[in-house]
Structures are given as structure tokens and as C-alpha cells.
Amino acid sequence: MNYIIKGNLRGLLCSDCELPVAGTSVKVYRPSDQQNETRLAVADPKQTFHQVNDDELKAKERLFITQADVQENGDFTIEIDGGKSGYEGGSIDVDWYCGNVPFKIPLPKKDPALQFHITTLQPLYKSSQESAQYARFDYKIDAKWFCRILTLLDIWVVCGYVNDCETQKPIPGVKVFAYDVDLLQDDYLGNAYTDNNGKFTIVYPGDNFRKTLLPWLNVEWPAGPDYYFRVESSSGTVLLAEDRTRGRQNDRHNANNCFCVKLCIKGGGIITSDTPWFTSVGNFSITSDIDGSGKTLISKFGAGGTGYGFFGSVKLGGYATKKVPTAPASPLYYRFLFSTDNVNFSPVTTAQMETTALKVASRQITWNGTTAFQDVVIDINQPASVPDSVPVDNYPNPIPDHVLHPDVNGWVRVDQPALDNGFYGSLFYLNTTTIIGGGDASAGLTPGLAVPVADQKNGRMLYIQFQTTDDPANPGSPNLNTQSLIGKIYVNNWNEVNLLKLEELFAGGGSGCTPVSGTAHADYTVDHELIASWSLGVWSNATGTVSGLPSGTTPRGDAKKFDMASPSPFVLTPPFSAWPSCAYSLTLTTYRKLTTGEINDWGKTNQVIFCK
């Protein structure tokens, strides 16, 4: 006979906040105290909960039956094979093993693994047609225990609710950011979205608020964080921005590791604008972050910088309302147009689309009998979903995407059940290489020689326009609207020229295995319209990294035949004459001033191995 116990395990943070203990496990043993088995089975689990010490844990080893992992929502399933284990449906000891890295967050150090006894349980089994017995066991760890355990593991939790200030109705689907007021620099602690009840939970390690700018000053004063919060819509619109001084007030100052809070937003956080807009390419606003030449003016969230162009696939962002502003009963359709001359525009269709799925919104659904969120994606690799259809609860299967496909003219229909009154953020994933080509710029070039002007590869401007309508089949619809503001980005999809050769390896018809001795000429050529930096490098086990080699940030790059044995005016450390017999790595590394709007060029390294 098989025995299956399904349950849910959570820890209480305060009266109305709890945390699923995902990443931990539930362990099952035969009762260790068989004389008092019945009394323990009927005892209040709040009275039996305790930490298992080393002696108790050692005694339990011979009584172990099985264990089950706790899932993201706190659910677990214990399966006991009666034939193999000898278990016949009697009482069991149930323990919680939280280890030293629970809740799937990194911890600053490895603490002792922790295990706690919950209770001695007599499951109330019910039979099924599958020759198995089923029972249920749900448990919530009392806050006084749970918060103390989190302290031992240096885990900190913020749990709270976001409501409308006037109606007190919960606000789902908004993003809450938590910060700690610090003496030198405020600490970012983490973020989370609110669920259908307006609830959010942020879990983070204590080191997040102990960070300082001074390496020798590694303590927080006072001992706990001083919280203040920011709330944004899913598009990034700021709905609430508390002043940092809020963190110094008594109810936020030096908070405990289990902190519960209630936030409210005036007007319920509803964005009242009903005008669809194309606003950004990746992280960059088309009105304020990109100059007239189509290059980025600043760095945002680790991408771009002064004078960066674009390459590869870029996300076109903005706001697409559920309904057409001039026809409020009609769902809105949107699309993008492109041009390389700012005169002749063509629709962006699946032919210009990055094939990776793009999440454009979230929906609120029911899964496993509770509130869950479904992704709305544009993805031609999956079959399109029936418009506006909502999936039935099919747990334990994963939640399927709600899939949108652009039509043949690039029109995308806004999903009506989506949160936020429409799509905020990324609206389309454009592969610029399908419009402005590129490739290998090194063909036919020789290392050490400059690239002739006629062979230098440059990019082009790309102009992007935004349209909305109520009827894609009717080009004359009175509700067809074309945004007058046009996005402009400079695109260069050519690889940089990165050529490197060590002449002596092939001197006199050498095979490439010739040892290098008296001279070592490194012939290199670097060229790109938007070169960010380049550098030669030498490394071996004998010398480590050799310093003093050429590098630069000059426009387009450089080309030279550089003799490492006579490097004047460069001074190598150690000098070539002092390099012992060993294998060496000669490298040429280049970076381009290009970004996708979210990630900058990852660089390219060319390597030559030689012996001396």
C-alpha cells in the first residue's frame, strides 16, 4: 500500500502575513517516543515545535522514512511506499529541515543546517481507487519561532499590503521597492509585485542593508534597517515615492527582521492617460535619452553610455490601452513601422521580429485554487491562444502562456483581461539585423595594416513609428492613429575588425609551432565605427600578466606591427628578454560602443598561443 500526504508549510510573520518556506523540506520518521505516541499525536503542534539537537538528530537517523521538498507556494507531497518501508499507516514524526540556504536566496556564510520537530501526526487517511491512502497536513510555524529562525539564518522579510487610500480596496499587479536609509548611501533591499489581495513579500539577506562605501566600515548603525518604499506600475510609472526621512520615523526605524507594513496610493494607482504611446527603446526614452544622431546620451541600468549606438534585437516599449480612445467599445490593435530614410515606412512584421518570446503583460487567474498570474507573451514559436480566453485551473501542470501573434501586417491585439488597463513596458521585440545588415568586417584584411576607408563598415539610422487602430482590415478607419513622434536609433550590426598575428610563428615558412626567441612582432588591426576600447595582453604561468602593452579608446581603433622585444616607447613589465621558457597567451580584446538598450556589447577576444 502507498501512503500519500499532501500539505502546505508556511511561516507566520505577523497576524495577516505569512511566507511559504520554498526550498526547504519536510522529513518523516517513525515516532521516537513510542510509549507516548498517542499523547503526542493529539498534542497542539504549537507546543511540540522545537529545534532538533545533535543527539536527537542522531537518534532519528535509524527511524527515517522519507522526505519531500517544499514548492514555491508552500505545497509538499510525501509519498511512502508501505512495502519497502514497512509503514502501515500509523503515527509519524514530522520535521522541518530548513538547511542553511532556505527560501532560495544566497546567504553571506554557511551556518549550521537547522532542523525542527513539528509534531507527531496520526494522518487521517482516505482510500482511493489507485490503491493508495491519502491524507492532508497543513501547518503554519508560529511567528515567534519563525522570525527567530530567520534571525539565525540572517534572513529579513518585508510583508505588506498596498491599498487605495480612500476606498481601501487592494491594488494588484504593482511593484513595490524597499530601501534602507543609511549614513552614506541608501541601500536597495529588494522588490516584489502585489497579488490579487494587494499583498507583497520581499525576502533578502541581511548583508543587503549592511553594505557601505567604506570596506572597513561593515556594520549598520542602527542595527536594523530603516524602511522607506517606492511603488510603480508594471510599466515603471511611479505611483508612490516615500521620502527617505520616512525611514527615520519610529514605526520604520531600526526595524526587526519580520516587518509588516501597509501602504496606500491616492486614486488607487490608476493611470488616467488613455493615449497609447511609443516611448522607449530598451531602457532609453526616445525623447530624452537618445540624441539626434540616434545614440544614447547616458548609461541606464548598466546599458548604454555617452555615444552608444544600437545593435541586434531591441525591445520597443510604451503603452497600449485595452480600448481605442476614440472608440471605447473596441479593443485596441497596435503595430510599429520602420524606415531607413524617414520617408518610406513599412510595417514591422514577424519577418523583422526577434523569435524569443516577449512578455507584454500579466493576467490574474486561478491556479491550484488560489490567485496566480499568467504571462501574456508575443511568441511565434507557440500556437496563438484564443483571444481573451482564460485557462481553466489545471494544477499541478505549469501555468501556460497566453500567446499573441502579430497578423500579416504586424498588428497586435491588446489582451482584454490583462492587468494595468493595457500593456505597459515592452510592446515588440525587433531584430534590427533583418533591416540593417552586418556581419564579418575582417574579410580580405591583413593584421598590422590599417583598414582602407573604402573597406570600413558603418551603420545607418533606423526610424520607428507607432500606429493604433480599431480595425486592422480597414486602412481608412477614422480610428487609425499614427504617433507624430518618431523614434530614431543609430544601428551598426557589423562585427569589429579584430585581427592578430605573431609574425615569428610563421617566419620563413614556419608551421606555427616555431618557438619565439629574439623578436616577437605582434601584428594587430582594430577597426569599428563605434569602438569603445581595445587592448593587447600577454599572460603565462611563468610571468602572470605582462603590463605595459598597447591599448586605447581612439576612434575606429588602431593598426600596428608591435615588436614586444623592442617596445619603445612602451615599457613592458617584465621585459621580453626576462620571460622564461614557457607557453604564452597573446590576446587582442575589443569592445564596441553598442547596446541593445538593456545589455552592452560583450566584447571579443582573439588569442594566439606561442612558446618562448
Q: pLDDT digits over 255-295, tens only?
A: 988 999 999 988 655 544 467 889 899 999 998 899 999 99
Kindly list the domain boundaries of the chain, sorted by start residue: 2-151, 154-212+221-265, 277-494, 496-611
pLDDT of residue 46: 63
pLDDT, residue 371, reads: 85
421: cell is 488597463
pLDDT for 209 equals 72
Residue 367: per-residue pLDDT: 93
Look at residue 23 in the predicted model and tell me its pLDDT: 80
- The percent of residues above 70 in pLDDT, for the chain, comes to 89
29 and 60 in contact (C-beta within 8 Å)? yes
Q: Which three cell numbers stand for residue 269?
A: 494607482
- H or E element: which one contains 187? strand 187-193
What does the pLDDT look like over 80-133, one tens digit per residue?
998 888 898 889 999 999 865 555 555 544 556 788 999 989 998 887 656 788
Q: How far apart are CA 43 and CA 20, in angstroms?
A: 24
Type and span of the H or E element at 528? strand 521-528
Q: What is the DSSP letter of 216?
A: T
> CA torsion sign, 148 to 150 to 153 to 159?
negative
- Best-predicted range by mean pLDDT (68-77, 177-186, 296-305, 588-597): 588-597
What is the topology classification, in CATH, of domain 496-611? Immunoglobulin-like (2.60.40)
Average pLDDT (47-56) is 85
Peptide bond before 396: cis, by omega within 30 degrees of 0? yes
Residue 219 has pLDDT above 50, yes or no: no
pLDDT for position 218: 45
pLDDT at 103: 56
Cell match 491524507: residue?
Answer: 135
Q: pLDDT band at residue 235, thresholds of 50, 70 and 90?
A: low
Cis amide leading into 222 (omega within 30) = yes
In angstroms, the CA 313 to CA 316 distance is 10
pLDDT of residue 221: 45
Which range in 117-126, 184-193, 375-384 is most confidently predicted, on average pLDDT?
A: 375-384
Strands (E), 340-421: 346-347, 358-367, 370-378, 402-404, 412-413
Burial of 215 (0-12, 13-18, 19+ CB in 10 A): exposed
3-class DSSP state of 351: helix
Does residue 608 have a pLDDT over 50? yes
C-alpha cell read off for 611: 612558446
Tell me, letter by letter, the H, E, C secondary structure of 2-39.
Answer: EEEEEEEEEEEEECCEEEECCCCEEEEECCCCHHHHHH
Pick the CATH number of 2-151 from 2.40.10, 3.80.10, 2.60.40, 3.30.70: 2.60.40
Q: How far apart are CA 468 and CA 564, in angstroms?
A: 61
Q: What is the mean pLDDT of residues 58-78?
A: 90
| First-residue to last-residue Cα distance in the chain | 72
> H or E stretch including 151?
helix 143-152
Nearest CA to 119 out of 20, 47, 187 is that of 47
Q: Is residue 352 within 8 Å of 435, Cβ to Cβ?
A: yes
Confidence of residue 18 (pLDDT cuts 50, 70, 90): confident
- Answer whether 154-212+221-265 and 496-611 agree in fold: yes
- Report the pLDDT value the prediction gives residue 269, as an integer from 0 to 100: 53
Calpha distance 427→487 (Å, rounded): 14
Answer whether 19's CB lies under 8 Å from 72's CB.
no
Q: What is the DSSP string of 458-502?
A: --EEEEEEEEEES-TT-TT-TT-EE-S--EEEEE-EEPPEEEEEE
Classify 434 as helix, strand or coil: helix
d(CA 276, CA 234) in angstroms, rounded, equals: 15
Region 570-591: mean pLDDT is: 94
CB 310 within 8 A of CB 600: no
Span 154-212+221-265: which CATH code? 2.60.40.1120
Helix ranges (H only) for 337-474 are: none
The answer to whether residues 388 and 368 touch, using CB atoms and an 8 Å cutoff, is no
pLDDT at 511: 66
Q: Which cell numbers in the block locate residue 458?
A: 558603418
Q: What is the pLDDT of residues 461-519, one digit of tens each?
A: 999 999 999 999 999 999 999 998 899 999 999 999 999 999 988 776 666 677 888 88
Q: How much is the pLDDT for 153? A: 82
Q: Where are the beta strands (DSSP E) in 295-369?
A: 299-300, 303-304, 309-310, 313-321, 323-324, 327-331, 333-339, 346-347, 358-367
Q: What share of the chain in percent tops pLDDT 90?
A: 58
Mean pLDDT over the full length of the chain: 88
pLDDT band of residue 243 (cuts 50, 70, 90) is: very high
CA distance 585 to 210: 41
Q: Summarize the confidence of residues 548-576 as an average pLDDT.
A: 93
Per-residue pLDDT of 307-355, as tens digits, reads 999 999 999 999 999 999 889 899 999 999 999 999 999 999 999 999 9
Long-range contacts: 193-198, Cβ < 8 Å, 24+? 193/234, 193/362, 193/373, 194/161, 194/162, 194/170, 195/371, 195/373, 196/170, 196/172, 196/364, 196/371, 197/161, 197/170, 197/172, 197/371, 198/161, 198/162, 198/163, 198/169, 198/170, 198/171, 198/172
pLDDT at 150: 87
d(CA 594, CA 311): 6
* Per-residue pLDDT at 393: 93
The most confident of 42-56, 229-243, 347-361, by mean pLDDT: 347-361
How would residue 152 be classed by pLDDT, with cut points 50, 70 and 90? confident
DSSP string, 36-60: GHHHHHTS-HHHH-EE--HHHHHHH
